[in-house]
Homo-oligomer: A and B are copies of this chain.
Amino acid sequence: MERKEISQAVVKRLPRYYRYLGELMESGVERISSNELSERMKVTASQIRQDLNNFGGFGQQGYGYNVKYLYTEIAKILGIDQNHNMIIIGAGNLGQAIANYANFEKRGFVVKGLFDVNPRLEGVTVRGIEIRNIDCMPEFIKEHNIEIAALTIPKAKAIEMAEQAVACGVKAIWNFAHTDLNLSPEIIVENVHLSESLMRISYNIAKMERNNK
């Protein structure tokens, strides 16, 4: 079946559906109506029906959606029905936190290696994954078919490291460094700018205080 492209707005909502459906499966729920799902997710039932119809998730009147079927379909669309090999560049606290988080692996994101410039970290293992010297990275990427590089280093070296990883064949950068990477457009860049996230909080606090005056 030719799959028509799903709108970005729907794609953005899919991980949340996926999470709720996963929780339903864990609690043994096999079918759910759009109304029940609506109540749990605090989204209107008509929005749910519209979103899920996009990929053949047609609920049956009085019978509801097949939870497992939807879960599997969404996994396919999100590309998490297959494994993606990942490395982490920068084995500081944040890099180690990501390496330690076993749930990523359950969703198919397999951390194959951790790299750092700090020689004192070399040979240390995090959840069984060895920290290697950054000089070993290019060869490692090619040998292990790495698709994703998480960039958890300060901004000074971020662009250089990203370019190096891309030159070795990495398709996507998960960028935690506080800088824009400006890579070529066919490279996928997903930014996690934590300080921007904090600023949205302070903006909302300031706004709330203005409104309360």
Copies of this chain per assembly? 2
Expressed in whole angstroms, the minimum distance between the Cβ of A108 and any Cβ of chain B is 7
Q: Mark A101-114, 1 if CB is under 8 A from B, else 0.
A: 10110011100000
Main secondary structure of the interface of A (DSSP, over half): helix
Cα of A52 to Cα of B29 in the assembled complex, Å: 51
Q: Are B178 and A103 in contact (CB under 8 A)?
A: yes
A120 within 8 A of B: no
Identify which of A100, A109, A202 gathers the most chain B CB atoms within 10 Å of its CB.
A202
The distance in angstroms between the C-alpha atoms of A77 and B200, with both chains bound, is 10
Q: Chain B contacts of A77 at CB under 8 A?
A: 203, 206
| Interface: A123 (CB within 8 A) | no
Q: How many residues of A contact B (CB 8 A)?
A: 58
Residue pair A79, B205 in contact (C-beta under 8 Å): yes
> Does A35 count as interface, using CB distance less than 8 angstroms?
no
What are 18 residue pairs bridging A and B, where the CB atoms are less than 8 Å apart in the complex? A11-B200, A14-B199, A14-B203, A18-B199, A19-B196, A77-B206, A78-B206, A79-B207, A84-B201, A93-B93, A93-B94, A97-B97, A98-B194, A107-B198, A107-B199, A148-B198, A174-B197, A190-B197
Chain A interfacial positions (CB closer than 8 Å to B): 3, 5, 11-12, 14-16, 18-19, 41-42, 77-80, 84, 92-94, 96-98, 100-101, 103-104, 107-109, 147-148, 171-172, 174, 178, 180, 182, 186, 188, 190, 192-208, 210
